[in-house]
Amino acid sequence: MSKSLLQNVELQLSNSFLRSRNLTLHKLNVFCKVAQLNSVTRAAEQLNIAQPAVTAHLRGLEESVGAQLVQKVGRNIELTQAGKRIYTWASEILHRSSEMFLDLVDINNGGLERTKIAASMVAGTYKLPDIILENHRSNPSHKVSVSVLTPYLATEAVLNGECDFGVTLINPNKDTSKLEIELLWREPLYLVAAIESDLVQDVAGLQELSSLPLVTPPRGQIARELIDEALRTVGLFRTNSVMAFGHPEPILKAIRADVGVGFVFESALPLDMNQYGLRFVKTPEISLSMPLYLVYNSQAVFTEAQIQLMERIRAAFARNSSAALQNPVEATSPSS
């Protein structure tokens, strides 16, 4: 780029910055509320301000950025292309501002630290609680919250700054190029049946798997896609799903009721399978595992407490992996 062209670009950026000095967090908040509700009227009602004031804030924001941000479509308001870009930026600004004020309150109250974790269902339900409790015992001033989300929303929450980091599966349809991704461990899935079930014996071959009634996750969930893909790789192209649930607990209840058998995450299995009325079924021709990742923004700067918590999570999953190698579930199952 030539020196004169560079100076012209710098001048334009300087002028844009001068215009943007008229921006306020209040204007951005009003704009975001209009964008979320697709209505000036509803935004005014929720913000408890007059409708003309909302319109004036929108016009002022458009003048500041030099672009039309909203357009009327029927009775609703929709964002223009520029509006969508500003909405993404404004949402992050408001979120970061809120975090800053919370941090200032914490500092004034003695330095309480906050960490928000996005977790996929199995990690957030079965794995993280014990780790968070252990962390709390050693650092009670560190306030940690865990949001259990779909893998897509978990990575989205980390990308947009809503959560500090995530412990999650990875949705292949989500762009994760701006994330650092560390494999924590591979969560095994085991075929489980009711303890007195006549549907299957202690070992299930391919022929049986092709006809067994299965209790599965719903279509669209990554766990279901994994099960279907694993069956396809051994030549079984149709999953005989007779019932579907989005959480391991109802899946286990349906299996115990002998509705069908099912592949279940290891961490969701009860410690005493016999007492719960369940048993393992060996599947020598098929093996399932789900990779679980630690994900965080590549530009993130973490506090010492957050770094210690992440190390605690890494260590906990490393112990899980080591224990699984030394004492696999099959070795202790009733069918062994």
Per-residue model confidence as pLDDT tens digits over 248-288? 999 999 999 999 999 999 999 998 999 999 999 999 988 88
Q: In whole angstroms, what is the distance from residue 204 CA to residue 305 CA?
A: 47
Q: In whole angstroms, what is the distance from residue 53 CA to residue 160 CA?
A: 29
Q: In whole angstroms, what is the distance from residue 123 CA to residue 333 CA?
A: 23
- Could you give the percent of the chain with pLDDT greater than 90? 40
Q: In whole angstroms, what is the distance from residue 311 CA to residue 143 CA?
A: 16
Q: In whole angstroms, what is the distance from residue 318 CA to residue 193 CA?
A: 29
What average pLDDT score do residues 165-175 get? 86
Is the Cα dihedral 312, 313, 318, 324 positive or negative? positive
pLDDT digits over 105-138, tens only? 666 665 557 899 999 998 999 999 999 999 999 9
Q: In whole angstroms, what is the distance from residue 307 CA to residue 329 CA?
A: 32
- Pull the structure tokens for residue 14: 């300087």
Is pLDDT of 8 > 70? no
What average pLDDT score do residues 167-175 get? 84
Alpha-carbon distance values, 88 to 92, 93, 105, 110, 142 (Å): 6, 9, 26, 33, 29
